[in-house]
Chains A and B, each alone.
Chain A
C-alpha cells in the first residue's frame, strides 16, 4: 500500500516535470535563436577540409569534444576489461550450433564489412563517418562471436590494449603536432586538413569497433573474488 502511494507521488512529480519542461520548450521556441550558428558554420565550411557539415563540426570545429568522447569510450573499455577477470574472453557456452545463424553469417559478415568501409569513406562529403562505420564493424564482430567464431585477439592482452588505444593515440598525436607547429592544440594546417581528418576517421573506426566489441565480450565468467580493504582474504 505504501509503495503504491510512493509510486503515485513519483508519477505526479514526473507529470509536473513534463508539463514544466514542455512549457519551457515552448517558451524558448517563441523567439528565434540569437546567434546564427548554422550561418557561421556554412561560412567557415571552406576552411574545414571536408564537405559534410556534421563531419566538419565533429572532427574540426569541435574536435576537442570528439577527442574527449573517444576518451570516454576507451575508459568504458578499460573499466570493462578491468572487472572481467578471465584469461580468455571467449565464452565456450556461447558457441551455437545454429546452422541458420552460421549460414546467415557467411553472407552477412562480408556484406557488413563492405558497408562499414562505405560508411567510413562516405563521411567526408555525405552522411556517414567513423562512428557509424565503427558501430557496423563492431556489430559484425558481435555476430561473429554469437556464431562462435573464435576471436583470440580479444584476450585482454597487449594487442587488445593496443587496439583500444590506437585511434585515440593517433588523434592525440595529430592534435599535439599542430600545437608544436605553433598553432593551437588540435588546429590542423588547412592544406592537409582533409587527409588528417580521413586518417583520424580511419583509425577511430577501428578503435571504436574494438572498444565496443571488447565491452560486449567482457562478460564475467569466473568467480574469482578479492578481499576488500581491511578484510582478510
Chain B
C-alpha cells in the first residue's frame, strides 16, 4: 500500500491540504511539523488529547494521599506537642497540597507518554531531518490508483514536492 509524502512550507497550507484529503476520505494520514501548530494538529484529528484526565486523576489521588497520610500517622501514635490537636487540618493541608501537585504532575507526564505514543523505538519511514528544520510533512496511505489524485491535491495546496515513500 503506497504512502505519499507531501512537503509544505507553511502550516496553513498543510492544514488545508490535510482537511481536504480527509474530506475526500483519506483518513490514514500523519503530519510532521517542526513546531507546535494547533491548526495542523486539528486538521488531522480535532479530538482533544486525553492528557487532562491523567492530570485530574493524579491530583485527586495526591490530595487524598496527603490527608490520609498525615491524619493516620498523627493518630497512629499520638504525641502531644505544644498543646495542639493531634489532627490539625491546616498544617496537613500544606502536605496535601504538595502531594496534589506532585502526583498531578507525574501523572500528566504519563499521559504525554501514552497519548503521544512516546517513547517510540523507530521513526516513520517518511520522517527526515527537514521536518525538524522548517518543512512540514504530510504522509497519506492510499491505494495505488489514488496516487495521482492525492498528488494533485497536495500540489494544489502548494506542496513544494510530493513523493512516494519507499518501503
Q: Do A and B come from one complex?
A: no
Residues of A within 8 A of B (CB): none
